[in-house]
Amino acid sequence: MRQVLIVHFSQTGQLDRLAQSVCGPLQQCRDIQLDFLTLQPAQPYPFPWPFLGFFRIFPETVLMRPQPLLPLAVDANKRYDLVILAYQVWFLSPSQPMTAFLASPEAAKLLKDTPVVTLIGCRNMWLMAQEKVKKQLTELGARLVDNIALTDACGTAASFLATPLWLFTGRQKPYSWVPRAGIDEAQISATSRFGVAMRQRLTADSLPIEQPMLTGLGAVRVDEKLIASERVGNRSFQLWSRLLAALGPQQSRRRGAGLVVYIVFLLCLIVTVVPLSALLKKLLAPLLKERTQREKAYFAGPSGE
């Protein structure tokens, strides 16, 4: 019997529904044993988030300094044929619970020499977070064989407003004039096709999984317009995270004051630099076409668009 583990954490329940949809075909197969590991922070994160409280975790998240988890309800010595890591993106980084899991001694045992599929549900930017996860997996000796990434249906511009309102009110559509935040439910249901493909590979033979299983299924879509923005944003986040972390602990007044300055800076950046950057990229697009295609192919791997 094939053994599969899915590791997940969701605040809103959206990522849990996504994980259930992907894993549905695996659960229906009598030749596959599917184990779920729900990550539970030792200090639960609030939802909806207090405005400043959300930003207080920004430095530790970006710098990947994990906050403690409750003991993991998993046998770390059990060998799995496949591990699925389902995570959210926080500040262009994997969410704190997933970072904590990847830094745990249990992950070191579970993921060594094990094929891994990453499953991402986020607003729109996931490239830099996935690069960080890939680096962690390489250090742990795991083999990333596939990646699935789904983003909010309302689009990049509208999600600048819709997603924060969801975080701070707890409602996906708090006002009639705001687009519904989150991934389209039809898209979530359609991800069962990935579970079907994984089931077919797992039951085809008993050999280790070494090649992508989801090629040609549209597991990811790389928005070339966001590649440069993610890189610039990630560098900015790294600099500000170090500065804010140096000001004091999460709940300190000094960090709170620094965060107010940072939030004002971030809002000014969004309304000025981001539109100008988008215009510049559009003008230079013909000159950078080949480079852009290479970058898209790289970030789309290993499953491909």
In a domain, 287, yes or no: no
Q: What is the pLDDT of residues 227-237, one digit of tens each?
A: 888 888 899 99
Residue 129, domain member (yes or no): yes
Give the pLDDT confidence score for residue 4 in this predicted structure: 98
Could you tell me the CATH number of the domain that includes residue 76?
Answer: 3.40.50.360
* Structural domain contains residue 96: yes
Residue 270 pLDDT level (bands cut at 50, 70, 90): confident
What are the angstrom distances between the C-alpha of 82 and each of 77, 143, 161, 269, 291?
14, 10, 37, 41, 34
Q: pLDDT value at position 60? A: 96
Q: Is residue 267 part of a domain?
A: no
Q: Is residue 246 part of a domain?
A: no
Please tell me the predicted confidence (pLDDT) of residue 274. 65
Residue 234 falls within a domain, yes or no?
A: no
pLDDT tens for 184-209 read 999 999 999 999 999 999 999 999 99
Q: What is the pLDDT of residues 93-135, one digit of tens each?
A: 999 999 999 999 999 999 999 999 999 999 989 999 999 999 9
Domain extent, residue 42, equals: 2-227+296-300
pLDDT band of residue 16 (cuts 50, 70, 90) is very high
8 domain-assigned? yes
What is the average pLDDT score of the chain?
93
Q: What pLDDT digit, counting tens, does each position of 26-48 carry?
A: 999 999 999 999 999 999 999 99
pLDDT at 292: 82
Total domains present in the chain: 1
Instruction: Give residue 269's pLDDT.
Output: 76
In a domain, 252, yes or no: no
What is the pTM assigned to this prediction?
A: 0.94
